[in-house]
Structure 1
Amino acid sequence: MKVSFAAMLLLCLLLSFSFFELSSAGSGFCFPKCAKRCSKAGMKDRCMKFCGICCSKCKCVPSGTYGNKHECPCYRDLKNSKGKGKCP
Structure 2
Amino acid sequence: MASASRLFVIYFVTILVVQSYVQIAEIGASTAVALQESEINRRVPKTIDCNAACERRCAKASRHKMCLRACGTCCARCNCVPPGTSGNEDTCPCYATITTHGQRHKCP
TM-score when normalising by structure 1: 0.68
1:29 corresponds to: 49
1:60 corresponds to: 80
Q: Structure 2: which 5+ residue stretches go unaligned?
A: 1-46
Q: Offset of 1:73 from its aligned partner?
A: 0.3
Distance, in Å, in 2 between the alignment partners of 1:83 and 1:66 is 19
Q: Offset of 1:66 from its aligned partner?
A: 0.5
Instruction: Please tell me whether residue 69 in structure 1 is matched to residue 77 in structure 2.
Output: no
Count of aligned residue pairs for this structure pair: 63
Q: Offset of 1:56 from its aligned partner?
A: 0.1
- 3-state DSSP of counterpart to 1:64: coil
TM-score when normalising by structure 2: 0.56
Higher relative CO (Cα under 8 Å, sequence separation at least 6) belongs to 1
Pick the structure with greater CA Rg. 2
Deviations 1:42-61 (A, max 9, x none): 00000000000000000000
Which 4+ residue blocks in structure 1 deviate beyond 6 angstroms? Answer: none
Distance, in Å, in 2 between the alignment partners of 1:29 and 1:45 is 17
Which one-letter code corresponds to 1:32 in the other structure?
A
